[in-house]
Structure 1
Amino acid sequence: MIKVRKAGLETSIQDYPGRIGYWNQGFPPSGPMDSWSFRMANVLVGNQPGLAGLECQFLGPTLEFGADTVIAVTGADMRPTLDGEALPMWRSFVVKAGQTLALGAARIGARAYVAIAGGFDNPQMLGSRSTFNKAGVGGIDGHSIQPGQELPVAAAKGTPGMLVPEALRPEIRTDRNWTIEVCAGPNDDWIDAAGQERFLTSAWVLSAKSDRTGFRLEGPEWTFAKKAYDKPKEHGSLPSNIIDHGYPMGAINLAGQTPIVLVNDGPSMGGFINPYTVPSAAFWKLGQAKPGEHLHFQLISVKEAQLIATQIAERCVFANLVQA
C-alpha cells in the first residue's frame, strides 16, 4: 500500500488507453491526458505501458511507501523529492518502505506522472482502473485520491536505474506557446474560408475555465458558411447549432462563439458543430498546457496524425531506455 499524506490538486489513478467501448453509454475513455509521459513512466519501472499510474495536475501529492518498490516520475517538472532529497525525473529508482515522495507545484508543464512497479491495483470498472470523477467511476471510491487513503499496488520486482534519453521525451514548452496539430472536420464546411484561416492563424488562449471534460479557448470570433444559416429548423437557431450527432474525442466543439476542445472526460454527442479535431497524437501537448498559455493550431492530414501516433508509440518501449 501507499499512504496518501497530501493529495495535491486532483491527483487521479489512470490507465492507458482508458475505458474503451462505453462512450455510447455515457462513460468516456478517461485515461492520462499526456499518454506519452504516462507510458514512459510505466516502461521505466518495467511495467507494460498502459498499467495504472498517477496523474498529478498542477500541484502534486505527498506519498508514503509501505514496502520497497521501484518508481519513476515523468511529465511536468514538479520538483519531486524523496525524503527531502531531489529526485531526478525520467529515470527509475528504488524506494524503501517508510520513505516519502513529495511533488510540488508544476514549474514546467501541467501534469506529472508517477508509475510504480506492478501498477496500482484498484478495482477495474467497465474494463479500466481510470478515474472518471464526474460519474464517480474508477479510481479509489470513484474519485481522485484523498488524504489518508491507502492506494493498493500489485506486487512486482521492477527495473531500477533506467533512464529515458532526452531525444525520446516530449518537449514540454517553457515559452507559453504551443503548436497543436488538428485535422479538418467533421464539420469544417460550416465555417467559411475567412473563419478557417482566422482559426489557423490566431493565438488562442487556454482559459482557466477548463478541466478534463473540455479545454475552453479564448480568441477571435468565428464566421460561418451559408449552410450554417440556411438549414432546417431542427438544427437550431445559432449558426453553430446542428442536429445532435456524435463527437469525436479531441473535437473542437463550437458552442456559439466559444471553442471547447473535448478531452479525455468529454461528452460523446451533442448539438454543436466540430470544425476541427485534435488527434490523439497531439493530446500530450494539451495535457501539458497551462491556463493562460497560447495554442497555435496547425492543420495536418489524418495520415500524418496516424504517423505521429505510431512514432510516439515506438518510443515507449523498454529497449529504448539506457542505464542511468
Structure 2
Amino acid sequence: MIRILKAGLETSIQDYPGRLGYWNQGFPPSGPMDSWSFRMANVLVGNAPGAAALECQFLGPSLEFGSDTVIAVTGADMRPAIDDEPIPLWHSIAVKAGQTLALSAARTGARAYIAFAGGFANPEMLGSRSTFNKAGVGGIDGHSVKAGQDLPVLDGRGTPGLAVPGGLRPDIRTDKAWDIEVCAGPNDDWIDVAGQERFLTSPWTLSAKSDRTGFRLDGPRWTFAEKATNKPKEHGSLPSNIIDHGYPMGAINLAGQTPIILVNDGPSMGGFINPYTVPSAAFWKLGQAKPGETFHFKLVSVAQAQDLAVRIARRCVAGNLVKA
C-alpha cells in the first residue's frame, strides 16, 4: 500500500493509453497529459510503459510507503525528497517501508509522474484504471486521491540505480514559450487565408480557465471563409457553429472567438468547428505548460505527426536506460 499523507492538487491515478472505446458513451480516454514522462517513469521501475501511476499537477503530494519498493519521479521538477533528502528526477530509487516521499510546487513544468514497481492495483473500469473526475470513474472511488487513502500496489520488482539519458527526456522548458505542432483540419477550410496565417504566426496565451477537459487560449480574433458566414441555417448562427459532429482528441475547438484545445478528458462531439488539431506526440508539451505561458503553433503533416509519435515510443523502452 501507498498511504496518501497530503494529496497535492488533483493528484490522480492514470494509465496509458487510458480508457479507449467508450467515448461515444461519454467516457473520454483520460490517461496522462504528458505520456512521454509517464511512460519513462514506468520503464524506470520495471513496469510496462502504460501501467497505472500517479499524475501530480502543479503541487505534488506526500506519500508513505507500506513496504520496500522502487520508485521513479519524472516530468515537472517538484523537488522530490525522501525523508527530506532530495532525490534526482529520471532515476529509479529504492525506498524502505515507513519512508515518506514529498513533492512540492512545480519549479519547471506543470505535471510530475510517480511510478511504483508493480503499478497500482485499483479496479479497472471500462478497461482502464485512469481517473475521470467529472464522471467519478476510475482511480480510487472515481476521483483524485485524498489524504488518508491507502492505494493498493501490485507486486513488482524494480531495479534501483537506473536513469533516463538526458537526450531521451522531453525538453521541459523554462523560458515560458512553447512550440506546439498542429495538423490542419478537420475544419480548416472554414477559416480564411488571413485567419490561418494569423493563427500560425501569432502568440497564444494559455488561460487559467483551463483543465484536463480543455486548454483555453487567449489571442487575436479569428476571420472566416465564405462557407462559415454563408451557410445553411442548420449549421447555427455564429461563423464558428457547425452541425454537430465528432471531435478528435487534441482538436482546437473554436467556440465563437475562443479556441479551446480539447485534451484528455474532453468531449467527443459538438457544434463548433475545429480548424486545427494538436497531435498526440505534442501533448507532452501541453501537459507541462502552465497558465500564462505562450504557445506558437507549427503546422505539420499527419505523416510527420505519426513519425514524432513513433520516435517518442521508441525512446520509452527499458533498453534505453543507463546505470546512474
Same fold judged by TM-score > 0.5?
Answer: yes
Q: Which residue is equivalent to 1:166?
A: 166
Distance in 2 (alpha carbons) for counterparts of 1:163 and 1:81: 17
Partner of 2:142: 142
* CA shift for structure 1 position 156: 1.0
Quote the residue 1:25 is aligned against. Answer: 25
Quote the residue 1:89 is aligned against.
Answer: 89
Deviations 1:120-146 (A, max 9, x none): 110000000000000000000000000
Query: Structure 1: 5+ residue runs without aligned partners?
Result: none
1:38 corresponds to 2:23 = no
State the secondary structure of the residue aligned to 1:307. helix
2: CA distance, partners of 1:3 / 1:29? 27
1:123 matched to which residue of 2?
123
Q: Residue in 1 aligned with 2:312?
A: 312
The aligned residue for residue 12 of structure 1 is: 12
Give unpaired runs (5+ residues) of structure 2: none
After TM superposition, give the deviation of residue 159 of structure 1 in Å: 1.5
Map 1:191-210 to 2 at 5 A.
191-210=191-210
Whole-Å Cα distance in 1 between the matches of residues 2 and 319 of structure 2? 29
| SS of corresponding position for 2:72 | strand
Counterparts of 2:172 and 2:94, CA distance in 1: 26
Q: What is the TM-score normalised by the length of structure 1?
A: 1.00
Report what 1:293 is aligned to: 293
Return the offset for 1:103. 0.2
Aligned to 1:254: 254
Map of 2:151 onto structure 1: 151
Deviations 1:143-188 (A, max 9, x none): 0000000000001111211000000000001000000000000000
Corresponding position of 1:267:
267
Aligned residue in 1 for 2:66: 66
Question: How far apart, CA to CA, are the structure 1 residues paired with 2:73 and 2:155?
Answer: 19
| Matched residue SS, 1:113 | strand
Q: Give the partner amino acid of 1:87.
A: I
SS class of match (2:179):
strand
What is the CA–CA distance in structure 2 between the aligned matches of 1:317 and 1:40, rounded to whole Å? 8
- RMSD value, Cα: 0.3
Counterpart secondary structure, 1:310: helix
Q: Residue 157 of structure 2 aligns to which amino acid in structure 1?
A: K
Q: Distance between the aligned counterparts of 2:231 and 2:39, measured in 1?
A: 45
SS for the counterpart of 1:189 is helix
SS of 1:297's equivalent in the other structure is strand
Cα distance per residue 1:68-116 (max 9 Å; x no partner):
0000000000000000000111000110000000000000000000000
Within 2, Cα distance between the matches of 1:159 and 1:52?
Answer: 18
Match of 1:56 in 2: 56
Deviation readout 1:38-78 (Å, 9 max, x if unpaired): 00000000000000000000000000000000000000000
2:278 counterpart residue number: 278
Over the matched positions of the two proteins, sequence identity in percent amounts to: 81
2: CA distance, partners of 1:246 / 1:197:
25
Which runs of at least 4 in structure 1 moved beyond 4 Å after TM superposition?
none
Q: State the Cα deviation string for residues 252-301 of structure 1 (Å, max 9, x = none).
A: 00000000000000000000000000000000000000000000000000
* Aligned partner letter, 1:33: M
Provide the residue aligned with 1:103 in structure 2: 103
CA distance in 1 between counterparts of 2:102 and 2:17 reads 27
TM-score w.r.t. structure 2 length? Answer: 1.00
Shift of 1:218: 0.2
1:174-193 to structure 2, matched below 5 A, reads 174-193=174-193
2:216 counterpart SS class = strand
SS of the counterpart of 1:36? helix
In structure 1, how many angstroms separate the alpha carbons of the residues matched to 2:297 and 2:134? 29
- For 1:306, what is the secondary structure of its paired residue? helix
Aligned to 1:239: 239
